[in-house]
């Protein structure tokens, strides 16, 4: 490696570390973190430049809603269809990359909120019949998700640690509940530079404004679920962190460095920083609600 290349590499790594450290050092509120993730209505609808992330994983989502295409010789896997209105945007991104949307064989999702899985029915239709798979605990919420009155397709019900395999690629589903009952984090392995790297697509760990953590009559176990989710996420040694929102893995900051070495998406420090940020917001919200319930 030349001296120029070494200096460049050090600068990029330093930049990534600084970004992660700054994010971890900021004290976020629930509202700020929510707004960081969802962005503006325009961010949710606007196409982000589709591009290769690493291995056989491509970004095909909008500016703030993360969608991913995993390609294989036997067809492709789409993760997160987002809103029904954004399905044409995702389809266009897939086609701009040179792939056929009709080669989509499996549709997966991160969790049963409209901004991530509302588009399942339309995506299934436009793909020509891809199988829609979802975590069991999210099925009731998905069945209530009926854009335009259409029933939500669920072709296969998944459970914690189930594997979804296609064309030599295997994704593993981890139940990371709390944000929704069946919130799902996906992992898969890729090779780059002779190394085996773990990709972790975070479902969500966020405590949105209005989430009730104490004395929640609809989900009395919600604290136990969040605790489980953080324990699982801390156990995963992510090399390539991704997520259901671009801001969760600094999409906008990393994209300008795509194609340069080192790959900006290889960011274990960013993964740990994101966990620290989101868990910190959760701990603060839980503490505040417990104090309020106790009359303090």
Across all residues in the chain, what is the average pLDDT? Answer: 92
- C-alpha 204: how far from chain center: 7
Q: Please indicate whether residue 13 or residue 190 has the higher confidence score (pLDDT).
A: 190
Task: Measure the CA–CA gap between 236 and 241, rounded to whole angstroms.
Answer: 10
The whole-angstrom separation of Cα 265 and Cα 51 is 12
pLDDT band at 141 (very low <50, low <70, confident <90, very high): very high
Question: Whole-prediction pTM value?
Answer: 0.91
Q: 6 pLDDT band (50/70/90 cuts)?
A: very low
**Residue 218: predicted pLDDT:** 93
Mean pLDDT of 21-39: 83
Closest by CA position to 85, among listed 41, 134, 36: 41
Q: What is the mean pLDDT of residues 188-212?
A: 96
Express each pLDDT in 47-99 by its tens digit: 999 999 999 999 999 999 999 999 999 999 999 999 999 999 999 999 999 99
Of the candidates 229, 228, 231, 211, the one whose C-alpha atom is nearest the C-alpha of residue 219 is 211
Closest CA to 115 of 155, 71, 160, 65: 65
Give buried/exposed letters for 83-117 (b at 16+ CB in 10 A, else e).
Answer: bbebbebbbebbeeeebebebbbbbbbbbbbebbb
Cα–chain-centroid distance for residue 38? 12
Task: Give pLDDT tens digits for 216-254.
Answer: 999 999 999 999 999 999 999 999 999 999 999 999 999
């Amino acid at each position: 490696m030349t001296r120029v290349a070494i200096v460049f590499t050090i600068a990029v790594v330093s930049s990534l570390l600084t970004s992660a450290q700054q994010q971890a050092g900021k004290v976020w509120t629930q509202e700020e973190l929510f707004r960081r993730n969802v962005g503006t209505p325009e961010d949710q609808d606007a196409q982000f430049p589709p591009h290769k992330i690493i291995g056989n994983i491509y970004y095909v989502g909008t500016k703030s809603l993360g969608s991913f295409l995993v390609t294989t010789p036997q067809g492709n896997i789409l993760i997160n269809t987002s809103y029904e209105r954004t399905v044409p945007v995702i389809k266009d991104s897939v086609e701009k990359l040179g792939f056929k949307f009709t080669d989509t064989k499996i549709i997966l999702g991160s969790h049963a909120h409209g901004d991530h899985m509302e588009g399942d029915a339309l995506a299934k239709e436009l793909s020509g019949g891809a199988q829609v798979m979802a975590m069991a605990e999210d099925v009731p919420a998905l069945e209530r998700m009926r854009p335009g009155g259409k029933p939500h397709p669920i072709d296969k019900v998944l459970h914690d640690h189930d594997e979804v395999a296609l064309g030599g690629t295997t994704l593993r589903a981890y139940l990371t509940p709390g944000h929704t009952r069946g919130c799902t984090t996906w992992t898969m392995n890729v090779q780059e530079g002779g190394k085996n790297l773990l990709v972790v697509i975070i479902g969500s760990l966020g405590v949105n404004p209005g989430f009730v953590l104490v004395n929640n009559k609809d989900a009395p176990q919600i604290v136990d679920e969040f605790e489980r989710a953080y324990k699982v996420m801390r156990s995963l040694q992510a090399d390539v962190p991704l997520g259901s929102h671009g801001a969760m893995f600094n999409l906008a900051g990393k994209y300008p460095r795509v194609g340069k070495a080192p790959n900006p998406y290889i960011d274990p420090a960013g993964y740990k920083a994101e966990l620290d940020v989101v868990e910190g917001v959760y701990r603060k919200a839980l503490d505040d609600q417990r104090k309020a319930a106790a009359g303090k």
